[in-house]
Chain A
Amino acid sequence: MTYKKISFEVKDKVAMVGFGYNCDKAMTVLDEETLKELQDIVEELHGKTSELDGVLFHSHKDRCFLAGADINLISAMKTVSDGQAGAEAGQKIFNRIEDLKIPTIACVHGVCLGGGMELSLSCSKIIATDAKGTMMGLPEVKLGLIPGFGGTFRLPKKVGLPTALDMILTGKTLNGKKAKRAGLVEEIYPVERILEYAPKHFKTKAKKKSFKDSLEEMATDNVLTKKIIFQKARENVLKKTKGFYQAPLKILDVMEAGMLKGRTSYLAAESQAFGELCVSDQSKNLQHIFFMVEGAKKYPHSTGAELPKLERGACLGAGTMGGGIAWLMANNGMKPIMKDLNPAGLELGLKQSSSNFMGAVKRRKMSFEDFEKKQRSISTQTDYRGFPRVDLLIEAVVENMDIKKKVFAEVEKEVHPKTLLTTNTSSLSVQEMAQALEDNSRFAGLHFFNPVHRMPLVEIIKHDGVSNETIEALYNWVLKVKKTPVVVNDGPGFLVNRILMPYMNEAGFLIEEGVSMKDIDDACLNFGMPMGPCRLLDEVGIDVGQKVAKIIHDGLGDRAKSSSLSGRLVEKDFLGKKNGKGFYLYDDKGKVTGANPEAQALFPKASKKMTEVEIQKRIFLPMINEAATVLTDKIVETAADVDLGLIFGIGFPPFRGGLLKYADSEGLERIQEELNKHAETVDKDRYTPCQLINDLVAQKKKFYEL
């Protein structure tokens, strides 16, 4: 029998089953056809056990063993029983692999995730390569799912319950070396040798357990300790997810209840849970984000034109942002030049970069030697030495149009003709700044969020003169440094800050109306936001927020007006986290120690009790309204751009799928109705629904159907 998706051959009494055969995609997935072929092959193997020494599963791809089940397959599931049946079909095949009478060995090289991992677990042994790209894990939880092909049943048997829970509940992956340490793989080899050495593992017996291992096993392998482990895991999950996510809790339910079950009844529970989760709103939303992120991995308007190579970097201004950007460049081998006016400024930048690196050193993600190499790859200077060699320059000097224009007019003469020149402005007009340059086709905004090493979003801001190649090169670069790009047109606050502004403004108005700061922040946290508006303003800097608010107000008119609250706080020098006092008080390490009583004395007495839902409406309705005008003004092209920007820019709760996805799911008619109601009772400027919402309601359409 010949197969199209999987290669199958028998050599010297060894059956070789190879994935990624005849596949031109970078990643091989278990789609319908592949699963079918796999099933046939396994049955064929069952008929040949007497003539075979063993079976090797391997991959023809250089970077992928099996990336998991095809997500399109999962997202096509409409009902619980659909999902359950899908999981059962996979389970059956893997059970048949497990039941083979001859040894089976998964030879893992490259990505081995989800269904690929579950297949490996059903083999008698796993061996792996020591390659950097070899990673094994069960990331289903990130899509709001439970591994459905027996992963939760088999992984604990290989690596023990604590490690298995850690992997399944967080979705984290292990490389070859770590997988060996965890007991997941029996041995690691260089990729060139793995298939040659694999047959030796047909006969190896499980290694004698070390004293430490058997002690550990004794301690964990009894019902009582397992109960405690599950309880701890549950507490951790609740702490980390604040209870917003169903999948990890469901996983815990299945695994805990299945502790004493046999394979058949355990797997039935697993597939049942998979069916329930895969059609849940949460999982659908998380899948939606997965597809959005996948979609963003390619620049949509590529013309195939040759792009400038961005090898050497430079950053002007060495403050918190400048230092963060220098860190990013250094971490990506760009040997950046960091320029500032004086050594004191440069030291600030070095400090920022060092603290970013040291975080990784402390978490043992980086050796001190690597840190030293990378930190020292930053050239610190006050002159333009080396600038003719720079390919990508990011400006992060003070937010002042005149100064920035002067800087660009000057630096344009120092760099080579193809150097991309970008500004990290968060609020100034890129269109206007572009006028300072002679050749502004290579100029654009490149807006990082603070802190650079934590925030995944980068806004790429266009202006009339910019070339498509410039945007494409920047887009690719942002992806290369593992951030998420969103291309936006120029406008006050660009994309994220513009939609974020009502979040902060409405908090101000609510406080003025006598609603307590705590109620406001709590309502937003309970909605799923990572920080309440008051806490967020402290983080950004209340003075910075005030400045940006003014620019957006000037640009957008009275619907973006803000209360006088920020002004009063700034007057008293309550600037937020940076000077330890804002809405809240902070200790030396930047941790909140409590509300700031002096600031609260400036507010009206907190006398008004408002329901959590009403506070949420007050805050999120104008955000939805603003997001709609962003689409009208063509700041971005699609609703997905808005949602991607907000999820990665401000941590809008992923389980809601994004702001506009959320609006769509609530129903635009209801949104319009609520906006109108608030326009009457609260403020006409801020709540009158925009034209786009009215139009969509009239046409019975959604944001995602635009």
Chain B
Amino acid sequence: MSFKPVYLVEGKRTPHAKAGTALKDIQAPYLGAYLVRNLLDNTTIPNDAVDEVIFGNTGTPAKYPNIGRVIGLEAGLHKKTSGYSVHRTVLQDWRPFHKRYLKIASGRSDIIVAGGVESMSNMPLIYSKEMTELFMNVMKAKTMGDKVKAISAFRPPYLSPIVAIEQGLTDPFCGLNMGQTAELLARELGITRAQQDEYANESHHKAIKAMAEGKFLDEIVPLAYGAKLEKLLATDVGPRDNSTVEGLGKMRPYFDRKSGTVTVGNSCPITDGGSAILFCSEEAVKKYNLEPMARMVDYHFHGLEPERMGMGPLHAMDGLFTRTGMTLEQMDLIEINEAFAAQILAVKKAFTERAVADKFDIETLWGEIPAEKLNVNGGAIALGHPVGSTGSRLLVTLAHELKKRKAGYGIASLCIGGGQGGAAIIENLIK
């Protein structure tokens, strides 16, 4: 079966804000709907011509079990446009993209809007199993006596909540928290605290510089926020211009308090944000006279042991290079998600050091990832990592930066909780 070309027409994102700050009151669908409207506004595509809306979301709010559908409707798309959500099984959700890719490439769909939204501020606290059962018993109780009896089973510890976000970020298979998997890589590959802090510090200063130069103006659509929705947020809340290696050095390790190296400072913060991309087939591009930013070259997903999930990008990029026959040198820009400084440093190591590559069964040493090509506008450590959105956010940032540089190919990659990696290559078309 031969695949048809898939075009990334345009991508946009919300400003990112650390959870609990500017965007804390915004429900996840509103982080996506206005982006979809904004993307379609720049085209002549009628509101009933979009085939599908697909959104990634990890902390699915109880109120919006199918966020993709809600976003499509809120954006003003025709009600016949189907919409679905992909979630939970993956942490950094890239499923929308490969679904979308296959659908357009196989000729099933012509126009798809895909993206991700995550309001980590709104992730719930969950009642313990005991408390939930107690509620059920009270509801089932028919007489007053039964009710009193049911209630009398209450014990104070029942009230201690389960933090959904913590549970979501813990691997159900190996039982390690994501931070602990990074700690494991740092330990095994000898990545020091100083190296991690240095990397994290650079991420902040790259992001601050990019913001000062207005690099994100084209990719961010300002978002109304505040209790009365009368303020506009146009820039990311997170990057710190006063970040120093010394300052980062003072933070206590979070996941292994005694001998660990992974701190809150050299990991990505919990963040609210969203992103959306309009994908079209060649037919749609012609029909609506579109000027796509980029062409999707190919993508690849790869699994690995869950306790070393941070090496996901290594496997995904290796697989993608191997299948496409392309090389690291051909990439003008590389975006690798910075879940943890330790994890991205580990990936870099495996690209140059034989022993590390062998440990992960990687045949080719793809070479040094040049600093001037890697996460040039800063990464998730500074900008944040709204988990359901990061996959598309990386593509949005990559496409815009390739365009600004009139460059050629770029690769985006990320690790996925549960032990997976994803990667995609795009080719800039606006030169």
Contact = CB atoms under 8 A, between A and B. Distances in A.
A337 B234 CA distance: 17
A376 B232 contact: no
27 contacts: A335-B37, A337-B41, A343-B232, A343-B234, A346-B222, A346-B232, A347-B230, A347-B232, A350-B224, A350-B229, A350-B231, A351-B228, A354-B230, A355-B230, A372-B30, A375-B224, A376-B30, A376-B33, A376-B74, A378-B224, A379-B37, A379-B38, A379-B41, A380-B224, A385-B42, A389-B41, A389-B44
Contacts of B247: none
Q: Name the residue in B37, B41, B42, B74 with the highest tally of chain A Cβ atoms < 10 Å from its Cβ.
A: B41
B34 interface: yes
Contacts, number: 55
Given A347-B231, A350-B229, A372-B229, A385 B41 contact: yes
Contacts of A380: 222, 224, 232
Interface residues of B, number: 18
Q: Name the residue in A353, A375, A389 with the highest tally of chain B Cβ atoms < 10 Å from its Cβ.
A: A389
A389 B39 CA distance: 13
Given A347-B231, A350-B224, A358-B228, A376 B34 contact: yes
A66 to B, nearest CB: 35
B133 to A, nearest CB: 31
A350 B44 contact: no
Contacts of A350: 224, 229-232
Nearest to A323: B230
B222 A343 contact: yes
B20 interface: no
A376 B230 contact: no
A669 B74 CA distance: 62
A134 B367 CA distance: 73
A386 interface: yes
Contacts of A335: 37, 76
Nearest to B46: A389
B177 to A, nearest CB: 34
Interface string A341-376: 001001100110111001000000000000111011
Contacts of B74: 373, 376
Interface in B11-59: 30, 33-34, 37-38, 41-42, 44
A366 to B, nearest CB: 13
Interface string B205-238: 0000000000000000010100011111010000
Contacts of A347: 230-232
A375 B74 CA distance: 12
Interface of A: 335, 337, 343, 346-347, 350-351, 353-355, 358, 371-373, 375-380, 385-386, 388-389
Interface in B41-88: 41-42, 44, 74, 76
Contacts of A358: 228
Interface of B: 30, 33-34, 37-38, 41-42, 44, 74, 76, 222, 224, 228-232, 234
What are the 6 tightest A-B residue pairs by CB atom distance, in nearest-first order?
Answer: A386-B41, A351-B230, A354-B230, A350-B230, A354-B228, A375-B229
A336 to B, nearest CB: 11
A371 B30 CA distance: 13
A388 B288 CA distance: 13
A359 to B, nearest CB: 11
A576 B233 CA distance: 32
Contacts of B34: 376, 379
Nearest to A353: B230
A354 B222 contact: no
Nearest to A335: B76
B198 to A, nearest CB: 35
Given A376-B33, A376-B34, A380-B222, A386 B230 contact: no
Contacts of A385: 38, 41-42
Nearest to A347: B232
A663 B391 CA distance: 72
A350 B37 CA distance: 18
A184 B38 CA distance: 48
B13 to A, nearest CB: 15
A347 B44 CA distance: 28
A375 B226 CA distance: 12
A388 B41 CA distance: 8
A471 to B, nearest CB: 28
B37 to A, nearest CB: 7
Given A351-B228, A389-B41, 5 more contacts: A376-B74, A379-B37, A379-B41, A386-B41, A386-B42
Contacts of A337: 41
Q: Name the residue in B34, B44, B76, B229 with the highest tally of chain A Cβ atoms < 10 Å from its Cβ.
A: B229
A343 B231 CA distance: 9
Contacts of B41: 337, 379, 385-386, 389
Contacts of A351: 228, 230
Contacts of B44: 388-389
B32 to A, nearest CB: 11
A373 B30 CA distance: 8
Contacts of B37: 335, 379
Contacts of A346: 222, 232
A281 to B, nearest CB: 46
B229 A354 contact: yes
Contacts of B232: 343, 346-347, 350, 380
B368 to A, nearest CB: 41
B224 A376 contact: yes
Contacts of B229: 350, 354, 371-372, 375-376
A335 B38 CA distance: 11
A343 B33 CA distance: 20
Nearest to A383: B42
A379 B232 CA distance: 11
A25 B417 CA distance: 65
Contacts of A372: 30, 229
A351 B231 CA distance: 8
A380 B44 CA distance: 19
Contacts of A355: 228, 230
A350 B234 CA distance: 14
A647 B76 CA distance: 38
Contacts of B228: 351, 354-355, 358
Contacts of A343: 222, 232, 234
B400 to A, nearest CB: 15
A348 to B, nearest CB: 9
A518 B296 CA distance: 74
A346 B224 CA distance: 10
A516 to B, nearest CB: 41
A388 to B, nearest CB: 7
Nearest to B234: A343
B354 to A, nearest CB: 51
Nearest to A361: B228
A389 B41 CA distance: 7
A88 to B, nearest CB: 54
A371 B41 CA distance: 22
A570 B74 CA distance: 47
A371 to B, nearest CB: 8
Nearest to A390: B41
Contacts of A386: 38, 41-42
A426 to B, nearest CB: 25
Contacts of B224: 350, 375-376, 378, 380
B101 to A, nearest CB: 26
Contacts of A353: 230
A431 B224 CA distance: 38
A375 B229 CA distance: 7
Nearest to A387: B41
A358 B230 CA distance: 11
B349 to A, nearest CB: 43
A335 B77 CA distance: 12
Contacts of B234: 343
A343 B217 CA distance: 12
A114 B42 CA distance: 51
Nearest to B231: A347
Contacts of A377: 76
